[in-house]
Structure 1
Amino acid sequence: MDQDTTGEFWLYDLKVETVLDGRTPVCRHIEGESFRVEGENLVFEPGTQISMYALAALLPLLPVKQRMTDPNDWVSTDAEIACPDPHCGGRFRITRLGKRRFTHAGTTGLPDARGKAYWRSDET
């Protein structure tokens, strides 16, 4: 069915992982530390930390990376984001994982179009 008639859309879940690849970090970046993006949620494993400055640099890109893009778009091909400190060797690799289905009614704030919130879909 056409997306416009079903109200469905898909977003990628993401993994954001710290990579150094031999570069020296200035900030607190630990190789392999990661978090996931599931819908609108950032999911951290216990003990995982990220600099708020690095997170501020990443946040605007995460919703874009969640969406379907043309295979030739840089968003589809470029995966590493540099730490905002120009002297830091830290990078953040964003990997698209599986896709998650959402509906307009489950995610909108428009009163006339609103349904049960997607995060409450398992409640009766």
Structure 2
Amino acid sequence: MKLSEIAHVRTGDKGDTSQISVIAFDERDYPLLFESVTADRVRSHLGLDHCSVRRFEVPGIGALNFVLVGALAGGVTRSLALDPHGKTLGSQLLSLPVHARATTAWGRLEGGGEG
């Protein structure tokens, strides 16, 4: 299954740093986010091998917050890249495959593979 099936994102950017919050639609899916959405997977999925990606856990609201330093090619107003804003990165992150080992809050039973 894709991340977009169990979570939504909120994004922001400042200078060359983007921030993406991944928030579970249902808090019962937070353990799946915690296990599947790692800093290394985010870096790889977004093609940001040149960036520092840090993950912060916010279990009280069922969320993970990622800070991507160096992700915006110098900053939104300085970059020649096409639309490198945090919104674009957040939308791209929602296509990340997640690996479920249990029933999600929506009742889907996943067998541990890429759904």
Sort the TM-score into its range (normalised by shorter chain): under 0.3
- TM-score normalised over the length of structure 1: 0.26
Rg larger in 1 or in 2? 1
